[in-house]
Amino acid sequence: MPNFQLSGLQSRFLDLLLSSGALKFGNFKTKSGRTSPYFFNTGAFDHGEILHDVAACYAELIISKYPMANHLYGPAYKGITLAAATAVELNQRTKSEVSFTFNRKEAKDHGEGGMFVGRPLDSSRSILIIEDVMTGGTSIRETMNLLLPRKIPVLGVVIGVDRQERGTGDQLASLEVASQYGFPVSAILTIDDIVNALWSGGDSDGQGINRLGRIWIDADTKSRINEYRNEWGLVKA
């Protein structure tokens, strides 16, 4: 795609994914049980500088898409640091209070007890869910199973990467979630963005693009990406 170009935000975020090792190419099993040729592990955002830079990317998208958002929710576990760091960044940029909440995997029966940590959830106040990646929508459904019984309104979901895979049916998971729960899903990057930024030309005559001093997608990797996306991508009518 010779005319393809990432936005400044997308370019910065892609470089953070690559330089930190949060984006890897190989063979990986995802939470949804699929064997993927690429994997996104935001656990690699493991020091202050890079977490600050990542939070700045999330905050930039949130300010443009959800300017009224002032309560972030981070699903355990990887959403916790993302929500906390992004709340700090939003506070600095907007000069207004931005609270956050995250859940425990298991309810605590001592001390303060309960399932949630941070600002108490309030059915009169909307939250914005912060996640790392969307594959089949499993994590968001788990989150909504916690929030719906408590009647917590959700502004939307902000994710780092949309893998653009099918959900439980023949629709992309991000669209399926948006339709099912009635709120938008916004991603900094999609897998289309990433592949187009790292691979030039058609599938047969293209080549990997040098980024940050190396080639990330070679011909073999591109072939496996095509096979995977043919299996798990959007079903054509």
Residues designated catalytic = 108, 110
Count of beta carbons in the 10 Å neighbourhood of residue 233: 16
Helix, strand, coil % over all residues of the chain, rounded to 5: 40, 25, 30
- The Cα–Cα gap between 161 and 98 comes to 23
- The Cα–Cα gap between 150 and 68 comes to 22
Q: Phi/psi of residue 40, each to 5°?
A: -115, 115
Give 180: exposed, middle or buried? Use CB within 10 Å, 0-12, 13-18, 19+.
middle
Residues 6+ apart with CB under 8 A from 124: none
- The Cα–Cα gap between 22 and 228 comes to 20
